[in-house]
């Protein structure tokens, strides 16, 4: 095993925060976190653009099964170490952490192999398509003691902090969530590859509802696909999922992916004489006295990436707002909604982190 940050602590030298890496039995001061990327298409581009601008990050290696995408990203970010086999990259490169940005169906044993090598991980959502796999990986990550962050980026918005502050003295009784737009295409429209819109996309609304209002104890789901534009289009076009929160609140999360013109994404929360309307870009507060609007002041992708790098450097896990075990809870809700729709019954949550 090469290049593992098996001992990290923070020191202050000339006012700069540096980390100590154990190399050959000696502690060496380093000011850069060495990253490898597994999967460099799609959302990986957003992370690469942000991380490449951070002075305390070194993007050492990239891996993707698509050679054209791999070569293009290598040229774009000046990375020479390129791999089509992630295990080869993990064996050959001296890394501190990896970004896992593969489609939902392609996770295989990536997380377990990274955990075996003591590598910290940033993993894009959803973490899996099957609960048994996610639970097994959660255990491997926990036993390895590595830092792991999952890409539920809305948690890192400044307006998300504001929502939590505003709800401290409020009792929310109803939540209405929306994720309505078009289907991205390719593997996304195949149910066995993406898990469908609720699992792959609307998962963001389910997760931020949990972040604001606490745990969900049961779900009831309904899905529909009355039209299919192509033979390989196997996902549902629309869904409604009822959430039963432990607090006693109820919620309805609505999804639709047959609207190429786009429509609505957000979460509305209702307390007595009080409404919060949350989107990625702004927060609207409605009371009998009037309406106040607060715009998001940060880039949520930058904030989650910065938090991960700082956590790796300092060992401070509290910087991570969506650790793996927490993300598994969100996954369970979305998968349980599918079971509910299929078996026409309310399904209770079982996973305990």
Domain annotation for the chain: domains and CATH numbers: 10-153+302-321 (3.40.50.720), 157-296+332-348 (3.30.360.10)
What is the per-residue pLDDT across 317-336, written as a single tens digit (0 to 9) for each? 999 999 999 999 999 999 99
What is the per-residue pLDDT across 230-287, written as a single tens digit (0 to 9) for each? 999 999 999 999 999 999 999 999 999 999 999 999 999 999 999 999 999 999 999 9
Cβ 138 vs Cβ 325: under 8 Å: yes
CA distances from 319 to 144, 168, 301, 307, 314 (A): 19, 21, 14, 6, 10
pLDDT value at residue 17: 44
Give the integer Cα–Cα distance in Å for 174 and 272.
10
Helices within the chain (DSSP H only): 44-51, 67-77, 86-92, 110-116, 131-144, 158-166, 191-194, 197-200, 203-213, 300-314, 324-343
Q: Which of 324, 323, 312 is nearest to 6 (CA)?
A: 312
**Segments of the chain with pLDDT less than 70:** 1-30
pLDDT value at residue 1: 42
pLDDT value at residue 231: 93
* Gap between the terminal Cα atoms of the chain: 29
pLDDT value at residue 14: 35
pLDDT value at residue 2: 42
What is the per-residue pLDDT across 1-23, written as a single tens digit (0 to 9) for each? 444 444 444 343 334 445 565 53
Structure tokens at 132: 């048994």
Cβ 29 vs Cβ 18: under 8 Å: yes
Phi, psi values for residue 23, rounded to 5°: -125, 115
- The pTM score is 0.92
Structure tokens at 247: 């607090």
DSSP letter string, 7-51: S--EEEETTEEEEEEEETTEEEEES-EEEEEE--STTHHHHHHHH
pLDDT value at residue 30: 58
Q: In what order do the strands lie in the sheet with 250-256?
A: 290-295, 282-287, 274-278, 265-271, 174-180, 250-256, 238-245, 216-224, 347-348
């Amino acid at each position: 095993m090469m290049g593992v940050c098996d001992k990290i602590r923070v020191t202050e030298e000339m006012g700069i925060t540096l980390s100590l890496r154990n190399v050959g039995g000696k502690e060496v001061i380093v000011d850069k976190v060495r990253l490898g990327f597994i999967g460099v298409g799609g959302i990986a581009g957003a992370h690469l653009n942000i991380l490449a601008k951070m002075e305390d990050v070194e993007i050492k290696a990239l891996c993707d099964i698509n050679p054209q995408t791999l070569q293009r990203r290598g040229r774009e970010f000046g990375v020479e170490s390129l791999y089509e086999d992630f295990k080869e990259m993990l064996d050959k490169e001296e890394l501190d952490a990896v970004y896992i940005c593969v489609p939902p169906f392609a996770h295989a044993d990536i997380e377990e192999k990274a955990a075996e090598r003591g590598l910290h991980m940033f993993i894009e959502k959803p973490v899996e398509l099957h609960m048994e796999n996610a639970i097994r990986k959660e255990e491997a990550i926990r036993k390895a003691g590595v830092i792991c962050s999952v890409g539920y980026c809305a948690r890192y918005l400044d307006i998300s902090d504001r929502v939590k502050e505003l709800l401290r003295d409020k009792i929310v009784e109803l939540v209405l969530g929306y994720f309505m737009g078009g289907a991205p295409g390719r593997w996304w429209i195949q149910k066995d590859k993406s898990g469908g819109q609720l699992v792959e996309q609307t998962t963001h609304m389910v997760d931020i509802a949990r972040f604001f209002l606490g745990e969900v104890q049961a779900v009831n789901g309904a899905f529909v696909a009355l039209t299919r534009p192509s033979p390989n289009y196997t996902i549902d076009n629309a869904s409604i999922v009822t959430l039963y929160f432990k607090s006693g609140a109820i919620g309805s999360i609505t999804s639709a992916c047959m609207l190429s013109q786009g429509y609505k994404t957000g979460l509305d929360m209702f307390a007595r004489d009080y409404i919060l309307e949350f989107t990625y870009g702004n927060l609207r507060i409605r009371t009998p006295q009037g309406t106040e609007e607060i715009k998001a002041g940060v880039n949520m992708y930058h904030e989650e990436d910065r938090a991960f790098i700082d956590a790796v450097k300092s060992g401070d896990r509290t910087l991570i707002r969506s650790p793996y075990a927490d993300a598994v809870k969100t996954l369970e809700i979305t998968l349980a909604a599918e079971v509910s729709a299929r078996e026409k019954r309310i399904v209770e949550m079982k996973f305990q982190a």
